[in-house]
Amino acid sequence: MNNKIKNEKYLQNMCRNIFLFRQQKGISLPELADATHLPLVLLHKLEKGIIPTSFTITQMFKICIFFHCSLTEIFMEPPK
């Protein structure tokens, strides 16, 4: 598997995990946006598997901090 395909898989894992972590916490997207101080539209796109070109590592850290997960965990393949 080449690096581009691997990177895409990790990013899609991240998007899926954000959705799953949010569902496990039982919170809405607006609640997540308020808690992380991230734009609702950004979080919505991420959950749909769309990674905006403006998405930053700082924003990813805010998400990880909120969910008490590591960067490794957010990129792991989610359970089926």
Question: Domain coordinates of the chain in residue numbers?
Answer: 3-75
**Number of other residues whose CB lies within 10 A of the CB of residue 58:** 8
Output the pLDDT for position 1: 65
Mean pLDDT of 47-51: 95
Task: Tell me what the pLDDT averaged over the chain comes to.
Answer: 94
Give the per-residue pLDDT at 4.
77
Structure tokens at 36: 């992380």
Task: Please give the pLDDT value at position 76.
Answer: 95
0.85 cut: is pTM over it?
yes
Task: Provide the CA 15 distance to its chain's centre, in angstroms.
Answer: 4
d(CA 30, CA 40): 6
54-73 pLDDT, tens digit each? 999 999 999 999 999 999 99
- The span from the CA of 6 to the CA of 79, in Å, is 18
Contacts of 58 (CB under 8 A, 6+ apart): none
CATH 3.10.520.10 fits 3-75, yes or no: no
